[in-house]
């Protein structure tokens, strides 16, 4: 099979199958031949690994993954792509296509069924219009050892941000609760067909098998995080009071004090251990009532 990053090969395939790239599905295909091996290197997979890919497109990253991993399962939503993939992936017997919207797939069940007893990594060039919902689903599934994805550079920076920085957000805390992110390298727009309007970046998330914090109630923890970022640059007690109306302003101030924080503390400067202290204090107060 000729090189799938070659523009003339892509054009021939598109003509043969009457396929036009869809903006709606976030289709920006890789046309830089050095990129698929580099992304697979970053994922660290070898023949002991199962890999879940999201959005194979015409299979440019999929082929590289199938060469290096034990098995690759790719979830693709575009119903026009299976005939193209049948041609580009012909003869590759450790590859399986699942034609579905990734956001509607029961990921844990799929992984259990397809990769019994195997460590599983995600490796993908994600469709940018649904990056956050996909990452949320992948991390919440808690069945992957790592997630290596190409995303918009801004999103990668947000995922890897430190407390107090402009990029730090509730989504940062969410991702860092589940995984340890490492920003790897930028990918310029000219590496894709068509060129996206933004720079991309590859990020590797090593998922946490054990969470190193004592968090009494995960839902209260994430509610605390969301409430803390909902009113950026305002006092945290105000954010808490509106995120937890049952506390009231007085209660929110008491929670902060009991957790050992100054009344003027701002949410965007806190890390996971600090959010955990506040959330645990809210849980304790509830228990006392």
Give the binding site for ligand SAM (CB under 6 A). Answer: 25-30, 54-57, 60-61, 75-78, 101-103, 125, 127, 130
User: Which residue number, 100 or 162, has a Cβ lying nearer to ligand SAM?
Assistant: 100
User: Which residue number, 78 or 268, has a Cβ lying nearer to ligand SAM?
Assistant: 78
Output the smallest distance, CB 53 to ligand SAM, in A: 7
Output the smallest distance, CB 105 to ligand SAM, in A: 8
Output the smallest distance, CB 151 to ligand SAM, in A: 10
Output the smallest distance, CB 283 to ligand SAM, in A: 36
Residue 195 is given by DSSP the state P
User: Which residue number, 55 or 239, has a Cβ lying nearer to ligand SAM?
Assistant: 55
Output the smallest distance, CB 114 to ligand SAM, in A: 16
Rounded-to-integer distance, Cα 199 and Cα 279, Å: 36
Q: Which residue is nearest to ligand SAM (CB)?
A: 55
User: Which residue number, 123 or 256, has a Cβ lying nearer to ligand SAM?
Assistant: 123
The 3-class secondary structure across the chain, one letter per residue, is CCCCCCHHHHHHHHHHCCCCCCCCCCCCEECCCCHHHHHHHHHCCCCCCEEEEECCCCCHHHHHHHHHCCEEEEEECCCCHHHHHHHHCCCCCCEEEEECCHHHCCHHHHHHHHCCCCCEEEEEECCHHHHHHHHHHHHHHCCCCEEEEEEEHHHHHHHCCCCCCCCCCHHHHHHHHHEEEEEEEEECHHHEECCCCCCEEEEEEEECCCCCCCCCCHHHHHHHHHHHHHCCCCCHHHHHHHHCCCCHHHHHHHHHHHCCCCCCCCHHHCCHHHHHHHHHHHHHHHHHC
User: Which residue number, 75 or 253, has a Cβ lying nearer to ligand SAM?
Assistant: 75
Output the smallest distance, CB 24 to ligand SAM, in A: 8
Output the smallest distance, CB 44 to ligand SAM, in A: 19
User: Which residue number, 184 or 270, has a Cβ lying nearer to ligand SAM?
Assistant: 184
Cα distances (Å, whole numbers) of residue 86 to 3, 39, 142, 225? 16, 23, 31, 45
User: Which residue number, 75 or 256, has a Cβ lying nearer to ligand SAM?
Assistant: 75
């Amino acid at each position: 099979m000729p090189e799938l990053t070659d523009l003339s090969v892509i054009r021939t395939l598109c003509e043969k199958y009457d396929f036009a790239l869809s903006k709606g599905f976030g289709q920006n295909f890789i046309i830089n031949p050095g990129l698929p091996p580099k992304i697979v290197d970053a994922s660290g997979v070898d023949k002991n690994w199962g890999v879940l890919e999201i959005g194979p497109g015409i299979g440019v990253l999929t082929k590289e993954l199938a060469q290096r991993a034990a098995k690759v399962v790719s979830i693709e939503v575009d119903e026009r792509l299976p005939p193209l993939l049948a041609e580009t992936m012909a003869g590759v017997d450790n590859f399986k296509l699942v034609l579905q919207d990734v956001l509607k797939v029961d990921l844990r069940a799929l992984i259990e069924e397809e990769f019994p007893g195997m460590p599983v990594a995600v490796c993908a060039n994600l469709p940018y219009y649904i990056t956050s919902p996909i990452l949320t689903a992948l991390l919440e599934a808690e069945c992957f050892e790592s997630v290596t994805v190409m995303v918009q550079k801004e999103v990668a920076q947000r995922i890897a941000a430190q407390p107090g920085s402009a990029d730090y957000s509730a989504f940062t805390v969410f991702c860092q609760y589940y995984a340890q992110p490492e920003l790897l390298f930028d990918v310029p727009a000219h590496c894709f067909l068509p060129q996206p309007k933004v720079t991309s970046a590859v990020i590797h998330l090593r998922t946490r098998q054990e969470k190193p914090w004592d968090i009494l109630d995960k839902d209260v923890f994430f509610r605390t995080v969301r409430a803390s970022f909902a009113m950026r640059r305002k006092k945290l007690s105000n954010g808490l009071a509106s995120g937890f109306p049952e506390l009231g302003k007085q209660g929110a101030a008491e929670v902060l004090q009991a957790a050992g924080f100054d009344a003027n503390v701002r949410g965007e400067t806190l890390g996971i251990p600090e959010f955990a202290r506040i959330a645990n204090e809210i849980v304790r107060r509830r228990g006392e009532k």
